[in-house]
Structure 1
Amino acid sequence: MALFGRKKSNKSEQSSDSEPKKEKGSWRRPANTAFKQQRLKAWQPILTPRTVLPTFFIIGILFAPIGGLLIWGSGLVTEITIDYTQCDTVGGSPTDLQDAITNHAVTVPKYNYRLSASESDQQPSSAPRYAFFNDTTQTDVSKQQQCIIQFDVPYDIKPTVLLYYKLTNFYQNHRRYVQSYDADQLKGDERSASDLQSGNCKPVAEINDGTSTKAIYPCGLIANSVFNDTFSNLTNVNPADSSTTTTNYTLSENGIAWPGESKKYVTKPSGDISNLAPPPNWALRFPDGYNDSNIPDLKSDEHFQNWMRTAGLPTFTKLWARNDADTLQSGTYQIVAYMNFPVKPYSGTKSIVISTVSWIGGKNPFLGWAYVAAASLFVLLAILGTIRHLLKPRRLGDMSLLSWNRQ
């Protein structure tokens, strides 16, 4: 038995000796390939004055004309901005809209009006004016508070003419605000009040009307705070043709949203409409709630679609209407802004912006000046580097300049 056991022991020793020994941690060692052992061929340029300084000059020379073209393209855009935030503070008791603008209008302060003209030699003859009229005879409550704005167009403006509204100090980029909507509900899926309450729409997810709890459609902070000021068409109050007293410049509210935005929404939500309620701030639009014949068509509401595409900065503009066919003739124009959207509680402002487009789009001189500034910086660094290299050159790889070789 002892002999048997000794032989068994020797056999086990021989088998263990024949197996290759694995070093500690070898299972974590990368394979011996060029890629994993970082032996691939690579270009490692040595940055010398002869390569860096010409590169700076080339970048500066290229960026300067690009910036100049962008600034020139932005200068081709005509833009008229009128802030009407304080319009409802204009005094007086006008009897009608015409009496308001004739006898109670005040001049818009200079800091609330700006004209960026493509034809700089032509400026308006007078500053814009506005007046406020509270028309209590209007059955539509959303059109009772009227701000009548008159402004000069100093020269003919060719299409496309765009009407924007502009808000300041409104942070649509807040994290909780951006997430506050339900994509499934907007696409038409039936969502109960409890479903929305447990999602991102809280606290604008459900509402109790005293008898039952209803799901808000569309839910969330973004939909609840939708911009609800509206605007009339432009009216030329002193047309060149004396045979007519007024000339309307019609603006279309179609084609103002990005292509494909309508795919995110449905014409009518599924399920029982009686279980849905409008957002709290939609009371002016739907004072009696929803029914089968009175429900928002989000698929065709391009104003709503523009608002749901949140802005990245607290000062932003969103397109309201456009005219792609007609020239806006020079003259004095009038537009009525129906004021419903509150901006004073958060120290914001609201304005109308009438703008054109050029080959680079809307007015945005910042990009052009950024290119010019970058070009100037590169050229300046190249000049300073060249002077330094000529006055006090240094030998490449000079070991005496190492810190431990200095005395």
Structure 2
Amino acid sequence: MTDTDRGRSRDRESAFYLFTQQWLPACKPVLSLAWVILIFLFIGFIFIPVGLVTLQASHSVIAHSLALVVEIVEQYDIGCVPKPFRINKVSYIQDDSIPKNCALFFVEHRSLLSCISLFFRNTYFASNISLYIKSRSDQQLLRGRKYHDTISYHPVEFSNDQHILPCGLIAWSLFNDTFTFIRDREELKVNRKNIARKSDREHKFGKNVYPFNFQNGTVIGGGKLNPRIPLSDQEDLIVWMRTSALPSFRKLYGRIETDLDVDDVVVKLVLSTTSWLGRKNDFLGLAYVFIGSSSVTVAVVITLLHLLSPRC
């Protein structure tokens, strides 16, 4: 046997050769009708209880006492805009001579126990498009303006021939609405600390990186940043920089750590208490219930079809 033949023999005995030629031993289970029905029933019996428990958690809080998860939502972009500008809201926003203050009132007939989470909600804001998502520099956010990623973060990059910090469209469009809550002429304190993820604060935004020239160009975008505070402590920016996959999303603005009693009059926006699952959100529970119910339904249909027309 020549060396070439020995080499070919060794190649044929290799695991890669056996795998590519599909000669490796394999288990090929054949699912019978009974096994298929049992699998679907097992999925249904697991998913349905989990979904019901999740829905229950979304509507209740297990604390010192059982209380409903209360969520109050108010859309203010219409009522707070004067009628002459409702057709062209952009001109109203860009006109600095017009005051932008707006007051909304409501009376809540249920007690809200602290801690009350305050969210702002955006709709039809496509933050998941490629140009917007790539318009940032993670290296710059963490290490300063001397470091830049290879990806593009145009068009908001330079100001007076200097790199903007932070650069990119995401930071440039920072949400800039501010909210004040007043109860019986007394202002409620809104805690805006610890609203961002700890991992983002410690590992994605630099403790020695300061936004010295942000929003100083000719085209001004959203909110401004304090140049004397490092990016790791500017949590409103950190929350905004985490983009959402869907065009409608909520972001945490702060927390009211004061109990609101029945019939208290306060400014209305988005207030929500939380459970161990988070804020009120029925999607996860409904998804579990739907998948479980669908599995049970499929198992029942297969069983009935087999009983009505059994195969030999």
Q: How far apart are the structure 2 equivalents of 1:387 and 1:171? A: 47
Pairing of 1:183-202 with structure 2 (within 5 A): 183-191=138-146, 200-202=152-154
Alpha-carbon shift at residue 295 of structure 1 (Å): 4.3
Alpha-carbon shift at residue 187 of structure 1 (Å): 2.2
SS where residue 78 of structure 2 aligns? Answer: helix
Q: 2:36 matched to which residue of 1?
A: 52
- The counterpart of 2:79, out of the listed 52, 75, 87, is 87
- The counterpart of 1:215, out of the listed 150, 156, 163, is 163
Cα displacement string for residues 145-202 of structure 1 (whole angstroms, at most 9, x for unaligned residues)? 111011121111122210010000111111111111122222233439xx79x85221
Q: 1:182 matched to which residue of 2?
A: 137
Q: How far apart are the structure 2 equivalents of 1:223 and 1:199? A: 16
Alpha-carbon shift at residue 88 of structure 1 (Å): 3.3
In terms of mean alpha carbon deviation, does 179-188 or 354-363 score higher? Answer: 179-188
Q: How far apart are the structure 1 equivalents of 2:53 and 2:139? A: 45
Q: 1:224 matched to which residue of 2?
A: 172
Alpha-carbon distance change, 82 to 30 in structure 1, aligned in 2, over 3 angstroms = farther
Q: How far apart are the structure 2 equivalents of 1:305 and 1:283? A: 14
| TM-score in terms of structure 2 length | 0.80
Alpha-carbon distance change, 382 to 254 in structure 1, aligned in 2, over 3 angstroms = same
Q: How many residues align?
A: 291
Alpha-carbon shift at residue 375 of structure 1 (Å): 1.6
Q: How far apart are the structure 2 equivalents of 1:276 and 1:363? A: 36
Alpha-carbon distance change, 159 to 36 in structure 1, aligned in 2, over 3 angstroms = farther
Q: How far apart are the structure 2 equivalents of 1:179 and 1:188? A: 18
Given that 1:150 and 1:332 are in contact with CA atoms closer than 8 Å, whether structure 2 keeps it comes out as no
Q: 2:200 matched to which residue of 1?
A: 261
Question: Which one scores higher on RCO, CA 8 angstroms, separation ≥ 6?
Answer: 2
Pairing of 1:314-393 with structure 2 (within 5 A): 314-323=247-256, 325-335=257-267, 352-393=269-310
- Asked if 1:162 is matched to 2:117, the reply is yes
Pairing of 1:115-130 with structure 2 (within 5 A): none
CA-based RMSD: 3.5
Given that 1:34 and 1:40 are in contact with CA atoms closer than 8 Å, whether structure 2 keeps it comes out as no
Alpha-carbon shift at residue 142 of structure 1 (Å): 11
Q: Which 5+ residue runs of structure 2 have no aligned equivalent?
A: 61-68, 85-92
SS where residue 275 of structure 2 aligns? Answer: coil
SS where residue 145 of structure 1 aligns? Answer: coil
Q: Which 5+ residue runs of structure 1 have no aligned equivalent?
A: 1-17, 93-133, 238-245, 287-292, 337-351, 396-407
Alpha-carbon distance change, 258 to 33 in structure 1, aligned in 2, over 3 angstroms = closer
| Structure 2 letter corresponding to 1:149 | L
SS where residue 47 of structure 2 aligns? Answer: helix
Alpha-carbon shift at residue 56 of structure 1 (Å): 1.4
Given that 1:172 and 1:312 are in contact with CA atoms closer than 8 Å, whether structure 2 keeps it comes out as yes
Q: How far apart are the structure 1 equivalents of 2:261 and 2:108? A: 8
| Structure 1 letter corresponding to 2:247 | P
Cα displacement string for residues 223-278 of structure 1 (whole angstroms, at most 9, x for unaligned residues)? 1000011111x2223xxxxxxxx34432201111111222322355489x6x8763
| TM-score in terms of structure 1 length | 0.63
Larger Rg: 1
Alpha-carbon shift at residue 317 of structure 1 (Å): 0.5
Q: How far apart are the structure 2 equivalents of 1:276 and 1:149? A: 32
